[in-house]
Chain A
Amino acid sequence: MSGFRERAQADIAAGPPSQTLEPILRKLVDDSAARLALGPADARARAEAARAYAVEHLDELHETLQAACARQGIGYHRAATAEDAVALVGELLGDAHRVAKSKSMVAEEVGLTHALRAQGREVLETDIGEYIVDIEGRGPSHITAPAIHLNRSRIRDLLASAGADVPHDDPVLLSQTVRDVVGEFFADVDAGITGANAVVASSGRIVIVENEGNVSLGVSRPRLHIAITGLEKVVADEEAALAVLQVLAPSATAQPLTAYTHFLGEPLPDQERHLVFVDNGRSQILADERYRDALRCIRCGACMNGCPVYTAAGGLAYGSPYMGPIGAVVSPLLWRDGRYADLPSASSLCGRCTEVCPVGIPLHRMLLDLRADGAEEHGSTVERLGWRAWAQAFSGRTGRAASWLGRLGLRTAGRLPLPQRADARQLPEAIPARNPAMLVPLATIETEPAELPGPVEPASLAALFRERAEEVGTIVLDTVPPEPGDRRVRAAAAIAATGSVVLVGDAALRGPVMDARRLVVELDAATIARHPQDIAATLAGDGDALILTGASRTADIEKRIVRGIHGPEALLVELSSTA
């Protein structure tokens, strides 16, 4: 059976994953930190509190949620195992044949797409990255950027192998090629399957974030929408959901919010909506206080973005739907048959994952606990005896002797060509030779200018909104002359720091929004709030809501931003200072 090491070894030998990943992830880590710094100072603390509360009150919140779902007319279901989840979704789908699926980690976890295809259904991965890795057949290599391991030329080859006409490998062309296949599929579709980033217990609203617009289509075009997610994804109320959203996109993609943030309530009269909660081992994780907090995870992927092991080995080396540090923690806990027993060792314990986690999961400490469990359950007798002998040697009066033995052992081992160890690393000299000339650098480097003061935030919320909205590609005007194909709606509120507009009720109807050539949003400056956390009152009640942060976009190919995927080509805001 191949493990992390063998897969990493093979992938590194085939062309180091870091060549593609390192520049992308280093920039992402810096950008994420800068983005979080633009938010409220306590954003992470709020998100952590919201998620910690959910984990500590999971049963209670599910009871509340069940009642809310009954009010909203949303089917509430639970599946104990992966098999149950697949069977349940199959039953809910009934005779639905053409199924549009958007990104869902839980669907990957239970093997949903393959299972539904085995039932004879036509299932299309409608997220651009997922569509690409579906052709490749090795699965996603990152939680939020499934095709991040593939460069543009490899993606072009994959699309060509699937019959697409792709004369060159420009990310714009490649993204639009997939967009068109997906758009055509949506013309005639029976059911949409999505994940859920959070489910609000008090209102029953399903919260989903996306950039491309494929979720917007998937929840509005077909008569049936099924959201599948993990048992832990429930949050208490809208305030808690907003606290999560406030850190989710900044941590994941360095965006303020994703282009579309859905709060889905009651289905339309001709529609059916179901919510499937998957347990599949989560109750067991919840019962163990050492690992319980892993259920706080919001699947932002910040821990893998910042992980040097992930960068060097690539996500596919983990061999699990969940990769990186969070994958190394939850994979052995979700699959207790030992198949991922080696993943907790796939970490240098540098602690960067814990440092960047926006919901305060002590990932590297959990890896240590998992290693101790692993030594008990899967440790070989040889290894155990080896450590016993080591402990003997290093604990007695013979400490000094042990050190000399260790020195001898290490130095000899360092010089021997160990099996499977072709690297030429050698141990240092006991008294290293020093050459004073080495203190002279190869070149002088100009000292960097003192840190410039940060950007000055505009004085008024309206000015801040204008600045941030324009950053995400929204056009802000005093008046927008009408054009054919416009859909004109009024915003219930806006968020200055993220440049977002908030639509509720009929304004949030996704059908007409997605059909419009341009979406024109009328905004009263008096309704602009500062941060996402400040719009909880606007979201009172339990109707549909849609937060728009720029027009649709994708960055699934080499993190290059391509705008205008599904939905209106342009988002325009008509900003007035009177109601």
Chain B
Amino acid sequence: MPCYMAALRPADGDHARSVLERLGDDVTTVVGPCCGQPAFNSGYRSEARTVGRALLRASRGHETVVVPSGSCTSMLQHYLPSLWGPRRSKVERFSDRFVEFSAYVAGHPRLATLPLQLEGAVAYHDACHGRRELALTESVIGLLARIEELDVRRLAYEGECCGFGGTFTVKEPEVSLAMAQAKLADVAKTQARVLVSGDLSCLAHLGATARAEGQELETWTLAELLDRALA
């Protein structure tokens, strides 16, 4: 469970765990360590490495670490190992164990045995790091298509960032807000009132902006959607 999820909406971590258990996996929840991305994206690399090292250590003893966040997974797979320079291959042994939640579920051998059903309509927000760093879009769309009676509405400008960007939203709040408003306008056009995404960080930003603007919107992580579709 990523640090921000533990701090903001731990219920999503519980949803992810519940889905994995329904798939028959033996699950331990590792609550709250950080991948180092906030410091890394701010340019503080040795601090990012200190924090990332602690997370990599926490992965010891686990075959796979499933991360319900494309952004953290991208940090772990693409950027964190580079902080060890020439010794990166030693670190990759650990970082390779981290897999993004939707990719893990989509590729799970027992997925076909799960009854997935939920009546309703949801809009889908494709988070940038999942889309571009991990190329998850098609697999997520395929996963959503397995949920019976669910009407998944894709956004007209799916490739545009919602404006969260971690420390970006703190450093450039005006621009960040304008980007969220543009994204919410696209969400509104779908007429759906539940917004689903792989990353809670985008959803927290969009949900907060929607509330401030008086736009009626529930924000669900993919984990929550799948868990509810299983119930």
Contacts and interface: CB of A to CB of B under 8 A. Distances in A.
B30 to A, nearest CB: 9
Given A348-B128, A387-B44, A435-B218, A427 B39 contact: no
Given A5-B174, A391-B51, A438-B216, A375 B42 contact: yes
B9 A429 contact: yes
Contacts of A351: 128-129, 132-133
A5 B171 contact: yes
Interface in B1-50: 3-4, 6-11, 31-34, 38-45, 47-48, 50
A346 interface: yes
A375 B40 CA distance: 10
Interface string A1-21: 000110011001000101000
A388 B47 CA distance: 6
Nearest to A378: B43
A384 interface: yes
Contacts of A387: 39, 42, 44, 47
A376 B153 CA distance: 45
Contacts of B177: 423, 425
A22 B185 CA distance: 12
Q: What range describes how many residues of A lie at the interface? A: 35 or more
Contacts of A306: 159
B97 interface: no
Contacts of B31: 400, 403
Contact of A391 (B47, B192, B212): B47
Given A18-B182, A346-B172, A391-B39, A352 B212 contact: no
Given A368-B40, A438-B218, A440-B121, A312 B194 contact: no
Interface stretch (B88-96, B106-114, B138-146, B161-169): B161-169
Interface string B186-220: 00001111100000000111011101100010110
B230 interface: no
Nearest to B1: A403
A74 to B, nearest CB: 43
Given A400-B31, A403-B3, A445 B43 contact: no
**Interface core residue of A317, A347, A374, A383 (most chain B CB under 10 Å):** A347
A441 B192 contact: yes
A394 B8 contact: no
Interface in B75-103: 79
B118 A439 contact: yes
B43 A373 contact: yes
B32 A402 contact: yes
A8 B177 CA distance: 12
Given A5-B171, A390-B47, A425-B208, A399 B191 contact: no
A441 B47 contact: no
Given A347-B165, A375-B43, A441 B3 contact: no
Given A391-B39, A421-B173, A441-B121, A308 B8 contact: no
A424 B212 contact: yes
A345 B172 contact: yes
A308 B179 contact: yes
A427 B178 contact: no
A482 interface: no
Contact of B168 (A348, A370, A402, A440): A348
Identify whether the interface residues of B are mostly helix, strand, loop, or mixed. helix
Interface residues of B, number: 75
Contacts of B218: 432, 434-435, 438
Given A5-B172, A387-B42, A423-B212, A430 B10 contact: yes
Contacts of B8: 407, 410, 427-428, 430
A309 B33 contact: no
Contacts of A381: none
Nearest to B122: A439
A373 B190 CA distance: 42
Nearest to A431: B11
B187 to A, nearest CB: 11
B57 to A, nearest CB: 9
Given A384-B44, A427-B208, A441-B192, A348 B164 contact: yes
Nearest to B213: A424
Contacts of A317: 175
Contacts of A309: 161, 172, 175, 179
A431 B218 CA distance: 12
B174 to A, nearest CB: 5
B64 interface: no
Nearest to A408: B7
Interface in A395-449: 395-396, 399-400, 402-404, 406-407, 410-411, 414, 420-421, 423-432, 434-435, 438-445
8 contacts: A346-B175, A348-B176, A375-B43, A391-B39, A425-B177, A439-B118, A440-B121, A443-B191
Nearest 8 Cβ contacts at the A-B interface = A439-B120, A348-B165, A403-B32, A375-B43, A371-B43, A350-B161, A407-B7, A425-B208
Given A375-B45, A395-B50, 19 more contacts: A308-B179, A345-B172, A346-B172, A349-B41, A371-B41, A374-B43, A379-B43, A387-B39, A387-B47, A390-B47, A392-B50, A395-B51, A396-B54, A400-B32, A406-B3, A407-B6, A425-B205, A428-B208, A441-B151
Interface of B: 3-4, 6-11, 31-34, 38-45, 47-48, 50-51, 53-54, 58, 79, 118-122, 128-129, 132-133, 151, 153, 157, 159-161, 163-168, 171-179, 182, 190-194, 203-205, 207-209, 211-212, 216, 218-219
Interface of A: 4-5, 8-9, 12, 16, 18, 22, 26, 306, 308-309, 311-313, 317, 345-352, 354-355, 368, 370-376, 379, 383-384, 387-388, 390-392, 394-396, 399-400, 402-404, 406-407, 410-411, 414, 420-421, 423-432, 434-435, 438-445
